[in-house]
Every structure is written in C-alpha cells, then in structure tokens.
Homo-oligomer: A and B are copies of this chain.
Amino acid sequence: MNVQRTHAAEPDLAAVARLLADGTRAGFCLALLDGRAWTVTELARHRGVAVSTATEHLNALVRGGLLAEERQGRHRYVRLADSRVAELIENLAAMAPGRSTPPRSLSATGRRQALAHARTCYDHLAGTVGVAIAEAMTARGLLDWESGLRLTGDGNAWLGELGIAVPADTRRSAVRPCLDWTERRPHLAGAVGAALCRHAFTSGWITRIGATRAVTVTAAGRQAFRHHLGLPDDLLSRKRE
C-alpha cells in the first residue's frame, strides 16, 4: 500500500533525490564531503537539530545507499558510501545558485575565507590552492585536457619522482575534474587527486584547521609546491585583508 506509482521501465530518480531534498540531510552530506566519518551527535550539533532528528535522517540516508555506517561501541560513524556519491553531491552543489545569503557573523566570514582558500573535498584538495595545483600541473604538461582529462606520461613520471603511488582502481578513473563551488573552476579529483592529497598530509605539506575541512599550507608545503610545481608563496598563504 502507498507504493509510489512509478512508470515501469524508469529508474526511481525521485527516491534518490528525495534523500537530498531536505536541508538538514543535504547539510549532513556536505559536511561528509570532507571524506571523514562523523558521529550522529557531531552531525546533529553541526546542523543544530536534536539528536533524535539526526538519527532518523541518517537512517534514511544509509537505507538509501548514500551513506555507509560503522558501529564502534556506543558510537555510530557514518561516511559517504563511495566516491560516486561524492561526485553526485558535488555535481548537485555545482548546479545550485551561488551564495544564497551573504555571511552574517565575522566568524562565519573567516570560516568561509578559510574554506575558500584551501579545503578537502571528499578525499582531494579544493579551494584556491586546489585549483592552482590543477592549473600548474596543466601548465607543466602533467595533465592533458584535450578531449577529456588525462594524465600524461610526464605526469606519471612526476608522481613517481614524488614517491606517490596511485592505487590501481579499475572502477575509479585516475584523474577527474571536480568543479569548485568557490572558484567556479575545476580542481583535480579521482584516484590521483586523492593520492596527492594523502601525500600532502603525510608529508606535512598541509594540516587541518581544527576539525573542519579547511586546511593550511605549512612552510614545508610552500617549499614543496614551489619546488615541484612552481607555485608562488603568496598564493599558498592565506591573505589577510
């Protein structure tokens, strides 16, 4: 009873969309774009809703296949199910109208600036820095945008020099453009984008700002990005105006 009347041969598009059609659930997914696992309570506080409400939303998202969960003791960790879901959310966000309301509080402004400068996007780098990296790699002939994005032979060699191993995943494409919703220009996603981001963390080139998705480029990072990609220092350090 009460089964949604659907045309036989068509996929149930609406069922998936309905999961993201609520502001709170969408906010959860955007938060989870940082690629980490969050607890129910963390997400509830993040959006300012009761924990019970968050539980119900997360149930729906897990049941719908968008989120994966992991239970540890009395904690329930949720994360995006896979990179396909992350891509879907990115695409949807890119389709949304620009900033809806200008930020009100000063702290919100600062938070916004930090995110716009450099942040993680699911498992790779985004923001001004992320876009700059992608463009520098293109300028140096490591990436080729001719008829679809592709890693060149030089690009492969470059990864090897840096000691970055890219796991061979047949399901996931090596390089993929991801539209930045602050820069409106693409940055580098895909297996290579993820490996590069992981390498930057483990090498101490970047560090997270608190528990947010925003990251800072360290002194070591500035040197590395200058040396390996020719990126200027002032672009990598956050401007204060």
Contact = CB atoms under 8 A, between A and B. Distances in A.
A34 to B, nearest CB: 12
Question: This chain: how many copies in the complex?
Answer: 2
A95 B81 CA distance: 11
Interface stretch (A14-22, A71-79, A218-226, A229-237): A14-22
Contacts of A176: 148
A7 interface: yes
Interface in A133-175: 146-151, 173-175
B13 A93 contact: yes
A17 B11 contact: no
Interface in A8-39: 8-23, 25-27, 29-30
A132 to B, nearest CB: 20
Contact of A12 (B7, B14, B87, B100): B100
A111 B13 CA distance: 19
Contacts of A108: 8-9
B91 A85 contact: no
Interface in A83-109: 84-85, 87-89, 91-104, 108
Given A13-B89, A16-B92, 6 more contacts: A13-B26, A14-B20, A20-B21, A66-B95, A148-B149, A148-B173
